[in-house]
Every structure is written in structure tokens, then in C-alpha cells.
């Protein structure tokens, strides 16, 4: 699903198609669960930073592994299956457990040291500031 705001021009338009291709490339890399695209991600961006959010309820922070290389973000993790006591009968088991890996290509390289992640209410939010060296610099025009 892709959202498009027809009235706004987004500088990331071109990069979206590139991103889609990269996602396809990395999706088959490691398959932990039956779904090839888990977790679902929302990627927000502007010229200064990118924010990635994912719905990942019921995770322990220790079971989450987030890594960044240049402009690639990889989210790896595992949701543990809760042990069922002997005297318990389960009528329904819809919540899945297991490992997952997801790699997303970002529109620009980010400052690895300044990447911040928080996990609140079961939502993982990763804040990735743009790498200084990739920020567009205004070029002064000298007139003589």
C-alpha cells in the first residue's frame, strides 16, 4: 500500500521506486516467519531525518536487534512463544511467534551514532538523522 498526496511534491518520489526494489531484493534474504514482510513499517522523512515505526507488540527489548549500515536499516527480532501451563486449554491461538528480519533502504545515509530507537506501547520508533556529509549544501554565487 502506498500513500500519495497528489498536491505535494515529494523529493523522495524517485527514491521510492528504488526503495521498493531494494525491499524486494532483501525480502527473501532470511525467512523467519511465514509472512515475508513482517513487521509492517511506516517510513516518514524530510530533508533532515527519517523516522521508521513498526507495530511489534509483546516483545522483550533483548529480543530486538536494530542495525544501520550507511542507508540500510535492518530490524531483526524474535517474539517468544509464551509457555502454556498444563492445566490450560487453548481455544484460539492467533498471535504468532517466531523470528523476523526486515531490511529497509533509507533515502540517504544516516549518522549511525545518532540513531535512536524507542519501544513504547508495543510500537518501535527509530529516529535516524541524516549524515552531515550527505546534506545538500547551499552554494554561494559570487558576483564580481
Partner 1 sequence: MKDAKEKALEKVEHSEPELTHEGREYTPLTDICEKEDMILLRCDMPGVGDGQIDIRLENNELEIVGKQSADTPEGMDLMMGEYQTGVFRRKFSIPQLIDRDKIHARLHDGVLDVELPKADQAKPRKIQISTGG
Site for partner 1, rule CB under 8 A: 1-3, 5, 8, 10, 12, 15-16, 19, 37, 40-46, 49-51, 53, 55-59, 84-85, 87-96, 104, 107, 119, 121-123, 125
* CB 1, min distance to partner 1, A: 6
- Concatenated DSSP letters of 13-43: HHHHHHHHHHHHHHHTT---SS-SS-S-EEE
Closer CB to partner 1, 28 or 83, in the complex: 83
Contact 123, 53 (CB under 8 A): yes
* CB 141, min distance to partner 1, A: 29
Closer CB to partner 1, 29 or 44, in the complex: 44
* CB 89, min distance to partner 1, A: 5
Q: What Cα–Cα distance (Å) separates residue 20 from each residue in 66, 83, 107? A: 20, 38, 11
Cell output for 1: 500500500
Amino acid at each position: 500500500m502506498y500513500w500519495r498526496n497528489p498536491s505535494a511534491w515529494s523529493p523522495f518520489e524517485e527514491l521510492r521506486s528504488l526503495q521498493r526494489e531494494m525491499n524486494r531484493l532483501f525480502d527473501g534474504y532470511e525467512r523467519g516467519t511465514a509472512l515475508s514482510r513482517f513487521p509492517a513499517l511506516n517510513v516518514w522523512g524530510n530533508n533532515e531525518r527519517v523516522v521508521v515505526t513498526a507495530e511489534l507488540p509483546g516483545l522483550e527489548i533483548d529480543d530486538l536487534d536494530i542495525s544501520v549500515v550507511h542507508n540500510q536499516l535492518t530490524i531483526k527480532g524474535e517474539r517468544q512463544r509464551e509457555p502454556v501451563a498444563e492445566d490450560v486449554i487453548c481455544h484460539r491461538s492467533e498471535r504468532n511467534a517466531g523470528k523476523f528480519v526486515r531490511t529497509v533502504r533509507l533515502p540517504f545515509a544516516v549518522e549511525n551514532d545518532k540513531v535512536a530507537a524507542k519501544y513504547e506501547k508495543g510500537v518501535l520508533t527509530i529516529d535516524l538523522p541524516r549524515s552531515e556529509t550527505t546534506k545538500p549544501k547551499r552554494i554561494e554565487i559570487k558576483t564580481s
